[in-house]
Amino acid sequence: MLDAISAQRRDLDDPLALQAQLLLAAEGRSVRFGDLVAATALPVVARAHALHLIWHRQLGADLGEPLRDASEVWPGAGVRR
């Protein structure tokens, strides 16, 4: 899983503002990964952006377990307010 997340460490264009949608969906609470990406305009594309946000610690996740749709994700330490 760390390989999949680290692949999203580089800058990622976000013309559809999916990262803002993801951060808003997780604001102040934990949410399942599948529900988080489903809350965006393009869930398939939002998955890559969610991994990017996890890598940059704007979203948090338990990296000791495989990331699945049922995995909990929460606002991370790197969230800019």
Q: In this predicted model, what pLDDT tens digit does every residue of 27-78 receive, in sequence order?
A: 999 999 999 999 999 999 999 999 999 999 999 999 889 999 999 999 998 6
Number of domains in the chain: 1
Q: Is residue 81 situated within a structural domain?
A: no
The torsion defined by the Cα of 17, 22, 28 and 30, in degrees rounded to 10, comes to 180
> Closest by alpha carbon to 22, among 11, 31, 9?
31
Q: For tokens 């951060």, name the residue.
A: 23
Alpha helices in 1-81 (DSSP H): 2-6, 18-25, 33-38, 43-55
Q: What is the pLDDT of residue 63?
A: 86
Q: What is the pLDDT of residue 5?
A: 63
Do 24 and 15 touch, CB atoms closer than 8 A? no
- Boundaries of domain holding 46: 2-75
The predicted model gives 14-38 an average pLDDT of 96
Q: Is residue 51 situated within a structural domain?
A: yes
Do 16 and 41 touch, CB atoms closer than 8 A? yes
Q: Is residue 8 situated within a structural domain?
A: yes
Q: Is residue 12 situated within a structural domain?
A: yes
Q: What is the pLDDT of residue 10?
A: 74
Q: Which of residues 80 and 39 earns the better pLDDT score?
A: 39
Q: Is residue 71 situated within a structural domain?
A: yes
